[in-house]
Amino acid sequence: MTKEALGELILSSERQLYATARTILSDDQDCADAIQESIVKAFSKIDTLKKDRYAKTWLMRILFNECYNIARRINVNEPLDEGYAENRKQPKENRDYSELYRAVNELKEELRIPVILYYMEEFNIREIAQILEISEGAVQKRLVRARKTLKKKIQLEEIFI
């Protein structure tokens, strides 16, 4: 992959990079730092990319590593803030998904990240497995567990409303 092609990939993935960083980091400045550091590392290590078709997954893996480095450094492991859901692309219909977003934000990180990558960022199972460095089966199991957990949370809230 050329540096120009990597630059185009980064520009076309800007929103996705931010949203992905937000799955781990709650502060905008920390997200910006992680993205910036990821871009620098991607350009400096471009020769380690073996196949161009995996460039986006490779870039996201670098971003995840940077986010975790920042999170460890500041010892923060908070869920997404509630404003994140409001800044996402609004659905075509005027439905209120705030309960669903809140329930997703309350998931443990190991379940929350695959859910966000799959449903919000539209990565496929294989790409998520590569990004998280786990098997495709593990991604599928986490998505199933997350759906069950979300279903229970939302049903319980409906009972008490």
pLDDT tens per residue across span 78-128? 444 444 444 444 444 445 567 777 888 888 989 998 998 898 888 899 999
Return the SS3 of 82.
Answer: helix
Q: What is the pLDDT of residue 119?
A: 87
Of 38 and 158, the structure prediction assigns the larger pLDDT to: 38
Q: Decide which of 13 and 86 is more confident.
A: 13
Average pLDDT over residues 145-151: 92
Residue 55 has, within 13 A of its CA and on its CB side, a CA count of 19
| Per-residue model confidence (pLDDT) at position 83 | 44
Number of neighbours of residue 118 by Cβ within 10 angstroms? 19
Q: Cβ contacts of residue 109 below 8 Å, gap of 6+? A: 24, 77
Give the contacts of 26 (CB within 8 A, at least 6 positions apart): 76, 78, 79, 80, 81
- pLDDT tens per residue across span 45-66: 999 888 888 899 899 989 988 9
Contact status, residue 117 vs residue 23, Cβ threshold 8 Å: yes
